Amino acid sequence: MKKVERINTIMRYINNRSHFTISEIMREFHISRSTAIRDIREIEAMGMPLVAEVGRDGGYFVMNNSILPTVRFTDNEIKALFIAFMATRNQQLPYLKSRQSLAEKLLGLLSENQQETLVLLNQLLLFEGTNPNNPDLLDLSDLPHPMLEQLIQNILLDSYLWITVQEDKRIKSYPIYLLHLYREKSIWLIEGFHLKEEIKQIFSVDNLIDVKPYKTRKRLSRKKIVEKLKNQEEVFNLVLELGPKAITQFKKYHPMEVSISYTNPYQTTAILKTFIHVNNHDEMEEIMNWLLFLGEDIKVREVPDEVLKGIQDRLSLFYP
Q: Which helix (H) or strand (E) holds 88?
A: none
Whole-number pLDDT of residue 50: 79
Given a cut of 70, whether residue 134 has pLDDT beyond it is no
Residue 272 phi/psi, 5-degree rounding, is -120, 130
Among 3.30.70, 3.40.50, 2.40.10, 1.10.1760, what is the CATH number of 238-318?
3.30.70
pLDDT recorded at residue 54:
64
Please state which of the four CATH numbers 2.30.30.520, 1.10.287.990, 2.30.130.10, 3.30.360.10 is assigned to the domain occupying 146-232.
2.30.30.520
Neighbours of 195 (CB within 10 A): 19
- 222: confidence class by pLDDT, cuts 50, 70, 90: confident
Q: Please, which pLDDT band fits residue 109 given cuts at 50, 70 and 90?
A: confident
Q: What is the pLDDT of residue 163?
A: 95
Is residue 122 pLDDT above 90, yes or no? no
**Whole-number pLDDT of residue 131:** 58
Using CA atoms, how far apart are residues 3 and 78, in angstroms rounded to an integer? 16
> pLDDT at residue 204 above 80?
yes
Question: Where do you find CATH 2.30.30.520 in the chain?
Answer: 146-232
Residues 259-267 have a mean pLDDT of 89
Residue 10 has pLDDT above 80, yes or no: yes
Given a cut of 80, is residue 25 above it in pLDDT?
Answer: yes
**pLDDT exceeding 70 applies to what percent of the chain?**
89
Residue 304: the pLDDT is 92
In the chain, which segments carry CATH 3.30.70? 238-318
Give the mean pLDDT of 261-271: 91
First to last CA, the chain: 61
- Intervals of CATH 1.10.10.10 along the chain: 3-62
Distance, in Å, from the CA atom of 263 to the CA atom of 270, rounded to the nearest integer, reads 5
Q: What is the mean pLDDT of residues 244-251?
A: 93
How buried is 246 (Cβ within 10 angstroms: 0-12 exposed, 13-18 middle, 19+ buried)? Answer: buried
How high does pLDDT run on average in the chain?
83
Provide the CATH number for the domain formed by 3-62 in this structure.
1.10.10.10
d(CA 312, CA 143): 41
β-strand 170-184 against 160-167: which pairing, if any?
antiparallel
- pTM passes above 0.85: no
pLDDT tens by residue, 60-105: 877 665 555 555 677 888 888 888 877 777 677 888 777 777 777 7
